[in-house]
Amino acid sequence: MKALVYHGPGQKSWEEKPKPGLISPSDAIVKILKTTICGTDLHIMKGDVPEVTDGRIIGHEGVGIVEEVGTGVSNFKKGDHVVISCITSCGKCAYCKKGMYSHCAHGGWILGHLIDGTQAEYVRIPHADNSLYAIPAGSDEEALVMLSDILPTGFECGVLNGQVKPGDVVAIVGAGPIGIATLLTAQFYTPAEIIMIDQDDNRLEVAKKFGATQTINSAAENAVERIMNLTDNIGVDVAIEAVGVPETFELCQEIIAPGGHIANIGVHGKSVCLHLETLWSKNITITTRLVDTVTSPMLLKTVQSKKIEPAKLITHHFRLGQIIEAYDTFGNAAKEKALKVILSS
Ligand SMILES: NC(=O)c1ccc[n+]([C@@H]2O[C@H](COP(=O)([O-])OP(=O)(O)OC[C@H]3O[C@@H](n4cnc5c(N)ncnc54)[C@H](O)[C@@H]3O)[C@@H](O)[C@H]2O)c1
Ligand SMILES: [Zn+2]
Ligand SMILES: [Zn+2]
């Protein structure tokens, strides 16, 4: 089969690899129908995720058809259409029992990271019963690619951890796919205002179409001043960090109102200053989370019923064999006006 293989920082190729086979009875082999590229894959390509070693097939999102299942798999059979979760989980360990699949003792984020991933014609999914989700017949399968990672990430790490409530003023820093997924799912709770902050005007325009009530280009204006003006100098009830750099987490600390919640989503590579000298008395909560994908079944229903329409995030289509071109497009997102790229087999 063909697959996208990482060969060290800045080096990748679309090359021949052996088709995966079952290793454990709980495995399934899935034929990829559609996959995509995540911001995290770009981090991997830069060499920011050193656990990813030479020869690894990357990718942790996609939908496909079950090709083969191990004797221990009871929820799926050959021919079933499935969403692949970016998180692999056994469903049985102490963390899984708490719904914390991201820290599963036998899984977690391993796909396209510690084991071969989904940017390939076939992928092996361990613990298939708990790591795949059945796609109802007649679904828009392309839209469901967003259930592998970005929708549960925005919802769990941003909206649930940030405790968004009706009437809240919410700020989302970062209007990439994750920030937009947060924007879409925050609206389940009817906040009064959703302020999107980014440095890319195109992405801010997209955010407006998806329901942002205010947008701020923080490269062009002072975001703190603007937010304080918008909120009578109180700040926001919920500040969600969806970039992963020190300055955006610092911004969240500057705009948070007393009693507010700062929910971090971004993957950080550097330490960030925690301003307890101003925050100690403000009754705030700061949360962090690796996506668990426990809400994927619920989110699937909201996509099915068109309460949210994540297909609108798709800006580019490629064949799987054009994946190198797709990386160039996604890697130049501002110039290419790219949000989510879909690769089809
Ligand atoms: N916690 C988790 O489980 C989890 C899961 C998936 C992704 N992530 C992380 O979420 C973050 C966002 O992912 P994405 O795919 O949307 O990434 P992305 O790179 O596509 O989007 C980031 C956005 O931030 C904007 N930005 C960059 N610097 C900025 C600044 N100083 N001020 C304001 N905006 C700025 C960019 O213009 C871009 O639109 C990444 O760090 C990613 O690794 C976390
Ligand atoms: Zn991802
Ligand atoms: Zn587990």
* 3-class DSSP string for the chain: CEEEEECCCCCEEEEECCCCCCCCCCCEEEEEEEEECCHHHHHHHHCCCCCCCCCEECCCCEEEEEEEECCCCCCCCCCCEEEECCCECCCCCHHHHCCCHHHCCCCECCECCCECCCCECEEEECCHHHHEEECCCCCCHHHHHHHCCHHHHHHHHHHHCCCCCCCCEEEEECCCHHHHHHHHHHHHHCCCEEEEEECCHHHHHHHHHCCCCEEEECCCCCHHHHHHHHCCCCCEEEEEECCCCHHHHHHHHHHEEEEEEEEECCCCCCCCCCCHHHHCCCCCEEECCCCCCCCHHHHHHHHHCCCCCHHHHEEEEEEHHHHHHHHHHHHCHHHHCCCEEEEEC
Tell the residue nearest (CA) to atom 24 of ligand 1. 174
- Name residues contacting ligand 1 (CB within 6 A): 38-40, 149, 153, 157, 173-179, 197-200, 203, 218, 242-245, 247-248, 265-267, 289-291, 333
Q: Which atom of ligand 1 lies nearest, measured to the CA of 334?
A: 37
- Nearest ligand for residue 106 CA: 3
- Nearest ligand for residue 199 CA: 1
Q: Which atom of ligand 1 lies nearest, measured to the CA of 109?
A: 3
Q: Ligand 3 centre and the CA of 122: distance in Å?
A: 24
Q: Which atom of ligand 1 lies nearest, measured to the CA of 174?
A: 24
| Dihedral of the alpha carbons of 266, 340, 204, 165, in degrees to the nearest 10 | -60
Please give the pLDDT value at position 268.
86
Give bridge partners of residue 111 from the DSSP assignment: 115
Give bridge partners of residue 196 from the DSSP assignment: 172, 215
Two tokens at 141? 């399968």
Please give the pLDDT value at position 226.
98
Pocket test for ligand 1, best of 38, 178, 291, 335 (most atoms within 8 A of CB): 178
Q: What is the pLDDT of residues 55-79, one digit of tens each?
A: 999 999 999 999 999 999 999 999 9
Please give the pLDDT value at position 270.
87
Query: What residues does the ion ligand 2 have nearby, CB within 5 Å?
Result: 38, 40, 149
- Nearest ligand for residue 41 CA: 2
Q: Ligand 2 centre and the CA of 238: distance in Å?
A: 23
Residue carrying the six token digits 């613990």: 127
Q: Ligand 2 centre and the CA of 40: distance in Å?
A: 5
- Nearest ligand for residue 118 CA: 2
Please give the pLDDT value at position 246.
96
Please give the pLDDT value at position 9.
94
Tell the residue nearest (CA) to atom 33 of ligand 1. 198
CB-based contacts of 320, cutoff 8 Å, min separation 6: 2, 32, 35, 119, 121, 343, 344, 345
- Nearest ligand for residue 154 CA: 1
Q: Which atom of ligand 1 lies nearest, measured to the CA of 244?
A: 41
Q: Which atom of ligand 1 lies nearest, measured to the CA of 42?
A: 19
Pocket test for ligand 1, best of 49, 147, 243 (most atoms within 8 A of CB): 243
Distances (CA, A) of 143 to 20, 28, 119, 291: 26, 23, 17, 19
d(CA 172, CA 252): 9
Tell the residue nearest (CA) to atom 38 of ligand 1. 176
Block mean pLDDT (10 aa), the chain, length 345: 97 98 98 96 90 97 98 98 98 97 98 98 98 94 96 98 98 97 98 97 95 98 98 98 96 98 92 96 98 96 94 96 97 92 97
Tell the residue nearest (CA) to atom 27 of ligand 1. 243
Q: Ligand 3 centre and the CA of 71: distance in Å?
A: 19
Q: Ligand 1 centre and the CA of 1: distance in Å?
A: 32
Please give the pLDDT value at position 262.
98
